[in-house]
């Protein structure tokens, strides 16, 4: 890079974005550590695709967050927010897509083990086509448990759209709980 040149960085995924809070004493705030190093490089601008949380965005200088979603408008009756962290984003997606209802779901998690200990859905999904929207899927347990709960509550179809599809446990683990999976960045195919 030439001195005084302007460099623009595009990140399809912000590393450590999921480590946006300290869960146990003695842990670092990993996203803050990464963003401090990123800012030291003095990029003219940084563009991130669907950053996991506002914490990462707040820590990066000259950042823009891009959210791109397919046209799902006429295919689904409702959007399902998988947890409290995705609720604000789910309302934004619903407005962009013209989908009239967002159904909130919650999970309880044992922070020491990472295990999901409960899933709840607040709203009527009986006979409906549901689209779960979120930024990332890794092993998929959140979505598997949510899909099971939605089908138990009578949903006709449960599909999942995520920007970042890691699928560390493969995609077969979703059979029976998620009907279709869509991912803007499917890291299993790279």
> 46 or 164: which carries more pLDDT confidence?
46
Q: For the residues 140-148, what does the mean pLDDT come to?
A: 95
In the structure, what pLDDT confidence band is assigned to residue 190 with cuts at 50, 70 and 90? very low
Cα–Cα distances in Å, from 103 out to 40, 45, 122, 151? 41, 35, 6, 14
Alpha helices in the chain (DSSP H): 30-40, 54-58, 84-97, 141-152
Encode burial over 159-169: b for 16+ CB neighbours within 10 A, e otherwise: bbbbbbbbbee
**What are the pLDDT digits (tens) for 7-29?**
999 988 888 887 777 777 888 88
CA distance 64 to 41: 17
First to last CA, the chain: 28
> 114 or 157: which carries more pLDDT confidence?
157
Tokens for 107? 């999970």
Q: Are 140 and 174 in contact (CB under 8 A)?
A: yes
What's the pTM value of the predicted model, to 2 decimals?
A: 0.79
**What are the pLDDT digits (tens) for 69-93?**
777 767 899 999 998 888 988 998 8
């Amino acid at each position: 890079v030439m001195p005084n040149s302007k460099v623009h960085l595009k990140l399809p995924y912000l590393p450590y974005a999921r480590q946006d809070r300290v869960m146990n004493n003695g842990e670092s705030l990993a996203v803050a550590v990464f963003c401090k190093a990123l800012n030291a490089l003095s990029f003219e601008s940084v563009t991130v695709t669907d950053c996991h949380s506002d914490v990462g965005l707040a820590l990066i200088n000259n950042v823009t967050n891009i959210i791109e979603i397919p046209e799902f408008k006429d295919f689904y009756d409702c959007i399902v927010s998988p947890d409290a962290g995705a609720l604000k984003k789910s309302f934004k997606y619903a407005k962009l897509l013209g989908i009239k209802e967002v159904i909130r779901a919650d999970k309880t998690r044992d922070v020491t083990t990472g295990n999901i200990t409960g899933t709840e859905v607040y709203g009527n999904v009986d006979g409906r086509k549901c689209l779960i929207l979120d930024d990332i899927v890794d092993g998929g347990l959140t979505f598997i448990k949510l899909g099971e709960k939605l089908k138990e509550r009578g949903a006709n179809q449960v599909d999942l759209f995520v920007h970042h599809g890691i699928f560390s446990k493969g995609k077969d683990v979703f059979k029976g709980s998620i009907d279709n999976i869509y991912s803007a960045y499917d890291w299993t195919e790279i």
